[in-house]
Amino acid sequence: MAENILEPGKVIKPIINHDEVKLLVERLYGISVLELTELNSYDDKNYKIIEDPNVKNPLITNHSEHGYVLKITNSMDSLDRDTIEAQNEIMNFLNTRSVTCPKPVRNVYGHLYSVENIAGKQHAVRLLEFVPGSLLKDVPRSDALMYQVGEFVANLDNKLQNFNHSGLAGRVHIWMLSKVPELDKFKFVIKDQEKLDLVEEVIEEFKYAVVPRLDELERGVVHGDVNEMNLIVGLKPGGSSSDYRITGIIDFGDIQDSYYVFELAIAMTYAILLTGDPATGGLVLAGYTVTRRLPDEEYRLLKTLVSARLVQSLVIGAYTAANDPDNKYVSSTEKANGWELLRKIRKHRPSADETDPTDWKTIANEYLTRS
């Protein structure tokens, strides 16, 4: 499989307006659109679709009461048809195993996706059933909810141990944590010298601390992007108005054959960004290790891996923002004080009477003891 790695200067996001989206949905799925809302996305275009209930559509037998999401994949990832098929299959696989996630809908040709010419470029187009609920980022934070993040990820990875797809063999893209060394090509966007020094420090540490040990890590198919915008939460039945639980997961665009410790580190990174506290990583670790064992040699890599994901998000975010200044989503890590958190993780030296906020194993054990 050819490597589709984003290169500086390449524009891959679909170019399409709302009227064109409505025509596309009607042509491919027979849906007359009542409401159309653009959703956040990095390189793709995603739209929430509510169909007009007064227009009969015999093409969809099981109508989604919550609506649909039309996903138009960027021109680079659209070249990799095997991976698109794998994404559809993994969603169907998890839906049959009690994991709530989007469900692909067949088009008028009976297929789960099609490739369409949009503004002169080829883009894969899919329709997914919309998953109801709130995003994790939009509900009150709590230790219990951060613990559940780890618990959910462990459960997800346990189920994915039984999933395989040839389309993921050799898949490579810039957001894979194993591609952190490729950030050398993009670091020119960081103009502040102190920030650049941090970026270079983490990239070099990843090269010598993680890359030589990759063959020793447990691997399998992972989601690849467990974050506060991809986790769905809902109120617990009979609970209070603030008693939330994680109910599902969306956006399988980054699925890959990778390493389970990478999946954990990514989830920890975004939980830390969400709360602004590095110690949150320990809560995620606590939930994860209740059902999945983390070997000591993998635990020792977590600080480097979390740092690397922060750097990856900050650098690619800065690069993408420079090329697409209207896309507010790409700067979410920077706006969430990503640089300050990176400094805390890399530079903070706790005093004798305080707990190291990156001593995640101790924090996890203390939380489990209290609970």
As annotated, the active-site residues are 225
| CB burial of residue 10 (10 Å; 0-12, 13-18, 19+) | exposed
**Alpha-carbon distance 207 to 212, whole Å?**
8
* Collapsed DSSP state (helix, strand, coil) of residue 262: helix
Cα 191–203–340 angle (5° rounding)? Answer: 55
Q: Rounded to whole angstroms, what are the CA distances from 100 to 50, 246, 251?
A: 20, 10, 12
CB 283 within 8 A of CB 146: yes
Enter the DSSP assignment of 351: -
Phi-psi category of residue 128: left, alpha or beta, with phi > 0 → left and psi -120 to 50 → alpha: beta
**Alpha-carbon distance 111 to 117, whole Å?**
17
CA neighbours closer than 13 Å in the CB half-sphere of residue 279: 12
